[in-house]
Structure 1
Amino acid sequence: MSIYKNIFLLFLLSLGIFTFSQEKKKFPNVENVLLNIKPDSKLDFWVLVHNHYGKGKEIKVSGTKKDYVPQFSGFNLRPGEDSFFYIVYSSGGKISYITELKDLKSFIGKIDNVDEAALSAVLEGYMIDEQFVDVAANYYEDKTNYYLDLGKITSTECPYQKKHFTLTVNKSSGIITNVKENGTYTEVYTKKCTNNPRLQKKQPEETPKETTPKKTPKKRK
């Protein structure tokens, strides 16, 4: 009986470890994700700047910073918000700027952590949705993969719509190996949407027509 008891305890222990490994963690915000970039190239310095409503703020400085020219455009990780990010970096004494999202790929290089895995998914059209963290801004991992729950804008027409997905990203290759769609999690109708159910008025019911013939008045003699 002791053998069976030990096997049962081992099973419970392994189940507990598996359950613990599946515990999801949340991405705090997009700034935090960008802060955890680890460039593969050897750089003199790099600076991450957040411009919010026209005011630029350095939120990370790595290395010995040199003078650079402030940028007035950049990549936006929060659709609908008047803000953007850009990166300034120097390699071999030459200063360069990243103001477009697509240029992040070469800057990041090899995927070193879950934050870079999330950014690689953002480059594929997904989003870290800070407004809906529980469904579209969290992750868990095992020895082989990162499992990211992220959002995606699937319609900018009426209605504005977002869906959420679970993406499997291989840790060794950094490649998205599987995408599972989990359905729509937000759907917004605006006043301009002609197909807004709340704006569609019911057609008035037609009154039934009279079926009895009217009496013709008698002619007087």
Structure 2
Amino acid sequence: MFKQILIIVIIFFSLISCLENFEKLPEKYRSDENLLKQIKPNSKIEYWQIDYVTGFSPDKIFSNGNLNLIKEIQFPKNHNLGGFFTECQPLHCNYRILYIENNKWNFVQDKDELKKFIGKIDNEYEAFLIARINNYNIDSKSNGNGFEKTDYGYKLKVMVYNSCPETKQSFIVTVDKKGKLNKLTDLGYYLQSGDCIIY
């Protein structure tokens, strides 16, 4: 009896997965930089920019809004260069967002602040950013790259990457319109090698 129920459950989930219609995120949007550029901040934000910080050197890589405000509103002298999505081992690099709201400069320098800045989920790029905040990655292969718009927000196919031993594990997660992520299904490993990738 238990085996029959198990077989029915497996067939049911197989049929559901066949009905899912995931669209692949194009290659040019898979990088953190290009995902960040697709954020649609709330209407009260008059100007915002993305900086890529390497060591002690911030470079503005994107800006949007009223450029005149940069000259009018004094930039704070004491600010740190911390940010999110830290990389570049053994060196240090990260992203940060600066924005003007209510005639004041504000900084987005960690994942919680980034989630707050994104706010309501307006598109698939913001949904993938929520997945990135929760330590999921986007792959070139469809096992770890897909999205489907739903009534509640988005269903995403993402992956978790480990470098030693190198593995890629596929997951289906949901991101609702308020930015809450739920892990839905563990689809298992689609890459398992004995190699260690050292950065």
* Percent identical residues: 26
Matched, 1:159 2:138: no
Normalised to the residue count of structure 1, the TM-score between the two structures is 0.61
Unaligned stretches of 5+ in structure 1? Answer: 1-18, 193-221
Task: Give 1:104 deviation, angstroms.
Answer: 0.7
Correspondent of 2:147 among 139, 149, 162 = 139
Task: Give 1:40 deviation, angstroms.
Answer: 2.2
> Would you say the 8 A contact 1:26–1:133 is kept in 2?
no
Matched, 1:148 2:156: yes
Task: Give 1:88 deviation, angstroms.
Answer: 0.6
Correspondent of 2:49 among 47, 54, 57 = 47
Task: Give 1:143 deviation, angstroms.
Answer: 4.6
Amino acid at match of 2:24: K
Q: Cα gap change, 1:71/1:62 in structure 2, threshold over 3 Å: closer, same or farther?
A: farther
Matched, 1:89 2:80: no
Partner of 1:114: 124
RMSD: 3.4
Higher RCO (Cα < 8 Å, 6 or more apart): 2
Amino acid at match of 2:113: D
> Would you say the 8 A contact 2:51–2:58 is kept in 1?
yes
> Would you say the 8 A contact 1:128–1:151 is kept in 2?
yes
Amino acid at match of 2:121: I
Partner of 1:16: none
Q: What SS does the corresponding residue of 1:26 show, helix, strand or coil? A: coil
> Would you say the 8 A contact 2:50–2:62 is kept in 1?
yes
Q: Cα gap change, 1:133/1:101 in structure 2, threshold over 3 Å: closer, same or farther?
A: farther
Q: What SS does the corresponding residue of 2:45 show, helix, strand or coil? A: coil
Q: What SS does the corresponding residue of 1:166 show, helix, strand or coil? A: strand
Q: How many positions carry a matched residue from both structures?
A: 169
Q: Cα gap change, 1:143/1:78 in structure 2, threshold over 3 Å: closer, same or farther?
A: farther
In terms of fraction of residues, the more strand-rich structure is: 2
Partner of 1:175: 180
Correspondent of 2:112 among 98, 102, 117 = 102
Correspondent of 2:36 among 34, 37, 42 = 34
Partner of 2:24: 25
Is the radius of gyration larger for structure 1 or structure 2?
1
